[in-house]
């Protein structure tokens, strides 16, 4: 148990991996967008509960199974989780996986709220998740952007496919993100890999495997 406590970090701590840092960037961007759009920015300042990262592969696997059913691609291994209660407005939790061969990440971020049943608020959450997808944490020069629609749990869900160059490293990137709604809660699915790891058939299988948690 002590080892698990040592692996937990808050926003003031140095995150141990670049992947964790990018996940934090994504979560912070989404949260600020949601709060500002909801006229509830004060909730950030009234909240003493900051997000918690846990570097725990078993916790990542367990949370993934709670959030959704999905086929994790080969060469992606579970890395950790994030959990954040934002005042009385939002509860965000997610899991992320890293590529074992080269740079790449797969993450899931669920947003829940006591107002989730209100259609306008739920749509605002979905729009905010779309706005801050797989590219969060990167300075990207987008070369190509394409939207593809998949049938997930009986609904048509658009996913964004980006081909880009990371201005910081000069590396080519492929990025995919989409928002699915399962059990009434929006979940952002985001994936990015280096250009030389891109496998569109693998990504298609990943998306088509998504369904409600068993």
> Has residue 20 got a pLDDT over 90?
no
Task: Calculate Rg over the CA atoms of the chain.
Answer: 16
Bigger pLDDT: 148 vs 85? 148
Residue 56 C-alpha from the chain's centroid: 17
Q: Who's near 186: CB < 8 A, 6+ residues apart?
A: 110, 111, 122, 125, 126, 129, 179, 180
Confidence of residue 129 (pLDDT cuts 50, 70, 90): low
For 162, residues 6+ apart whose C-beta sits below 8 A from its C-beta are 134, 135, 140, 142, 144, 145, 146, 173, 174, 175, 176
Average pLDDT for residues 27-35, to the nearest whole number? 54
Q: How confident is the model at residue 125 (pLDDT cuts 50, 70, 90)?
A: low
Q: How confident is the model at residue 139 (pLDDT cuts 50, 70, 90)?
A: confident
Residues 40-58: what's their mean pLDDT?
65
Angle separating helix axes 18-37 and 119-131, nearest 10 degrees: 140
Average pLDDT over every residue of 26-30: 56
Q: Is the pLDDT of residue 54 over 80?
A: yes
Q: What is residue 163's predicted lDDT score, i.e. its pLDDT? A: 95
Tokens 């992947």, residue located? 19
Share of the chain above pLDDT 90, in %: 44
Q: Is the pLDDT of residue 28 over 60?
A: no
Task: Quote the CA–CA distance of 161 and 203 in Å, as a whole number.
Answer: 10
Global confidence as pTM = 0.77
- The contacts of residue 127 (CB under 8 Å, 6+ apart) are none
> Which pLDDT value is given to residue 136?
61
What Cα–Cα distance (Å) separates residue 11 from each residue in 82, 98, 155, 183? 11, 20, 36, 29
Q: What pLDDT shows up at residue 169?
A: 87
């Amino acid at each position: 148990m002590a080892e698990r406590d040592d692996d937990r970090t808050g926003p003031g701590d140095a995150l141990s991996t670049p992947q964790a840092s990018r996940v934090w960037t994504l979560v912070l961007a989404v949260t600020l967008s949601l709060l500002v759009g909801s006229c509830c920015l004060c909730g950030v300042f009234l909240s003493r509960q900051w997000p918690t990262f846990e570097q725990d592969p078993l916790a990542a696997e367990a949370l993934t199974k709670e959030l959704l059913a999905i086929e994790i691609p080969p060469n992606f291994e579970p890395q950790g989780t994030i959990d954040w209660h934002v005042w009385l407005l939002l509860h965000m939790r997610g899991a992320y996986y890293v590529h074992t061969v080269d740079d790449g990440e797969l993450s899931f971020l669920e947003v829940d709220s006591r107002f989730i049943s209100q259609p306008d608020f739920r749509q605002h959450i979905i729009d905010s998740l779309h706005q801050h997808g797989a590219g969060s944490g990167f300075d990207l020069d987008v070369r190509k952007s394409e939207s593809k629609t998949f049938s997930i749990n009986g609904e048509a869900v658009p996913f964004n496919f980006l081909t880009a160059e990371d201005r910081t490293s000069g590396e080519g990137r492929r990025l995919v993100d989409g928002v699915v709604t399962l059990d009434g809660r929006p979940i952002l699915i985001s994936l990015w890999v280096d250009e030389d790891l891109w496998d569109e058939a693998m990504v298609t299988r990943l998306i088509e495997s998504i369904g409600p948690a068993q």
